């Protein structure tokens, strides 16, 4: 099978669009989590215990994802490093949260347990995609030879 330039560009566009949508969704999810952990009532049908350190980390993750979304939507030259950093920071923050809760550092809930694991899988999968050739190419970051 011969792959044409149009098919290659189409694949890159699909990946870039998927990353844009994903980062916006991640921004919203982490913003809601930050608000809930700060004690702000959010009408999403769940309540979480107030955990200020979690709210701070989730707020930073929200900020980094929002910056990443801006870079992705404006097709900035710094879109790839920003998206990569945001996902790596999110994964580290999630692992910190999982570890802290496992050590009994704060109250938890079933929703919080699921949230940590799902978002860790999402952040890790996004990092894998960002480091794959198609992910790098989609954001204008080709491997150097």
Rounded distance between C-alpha atoms, residue 112 and residue 81, angstroms: 29
Token pair for 10: 């189409």
Averaged pLDDT of the chain: 90
Domain span at residue 22? Answer: 8-138
Residue 76 belongs to some domain of the structure: yes
Token pair for 129: 């995609």
* Mean pLDDT within 81-104: 96
pLDDT tens for 45-87 read: 888 889 999 999 999 999 999 999 999 999 999 999 999 999 9
Residue 143 belongs to some domain of the structure: no
Residue 67 belongs to some domain of the structure: yes
Residue 32 belongs to some domain of the structure: yes
Token pair 């994802």: residue: 65
* Cα-based distances in Å from 79 to 13, 55, 56, 138: 14, 25, 24, 10
pLDDT of residue 108: 83
Number of domains in the chain: 1
Residue 2 belongs to some domain of the structure: no
* Helical H segments across 74-109, by residue range: 79-102
Rounded distance between C-alpha atoms, residue 101 and residue 96, angstroms: 9
pLDDT tens for 132-145 read: 999 999 998 754 43
């Amino acid at each position: 099978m011969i792959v044409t330039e149009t098919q290659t560009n189409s694949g890159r566009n699909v990946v870039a669009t998927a990353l844009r949508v994903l980062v916006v969704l991640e921004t919203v999810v982490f913003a809601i989590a930050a608000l809930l952990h700060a004690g702000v009532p959010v009408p999403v049908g769940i309540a979480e215990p107030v955990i200020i350190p979690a709210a701070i980390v989730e707020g930073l993750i929200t900020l980094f994802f929002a910056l990443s979304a801006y870079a992705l939507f404006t097709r900035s030259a710094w879109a790839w490093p920003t998206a990569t950093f945001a996902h790596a920071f999110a994964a580290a923050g999630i692992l910190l949260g999982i570890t802290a809760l496992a050590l009994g550092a704060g109250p938890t809930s079933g929703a919080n347990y699921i949230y940590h694991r799902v978002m860790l899988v999402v952040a890790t999968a996004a990092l894998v995609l960002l480091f794959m050739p198609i992910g790098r190419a989609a954001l204008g970051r080709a491997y150097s030879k």
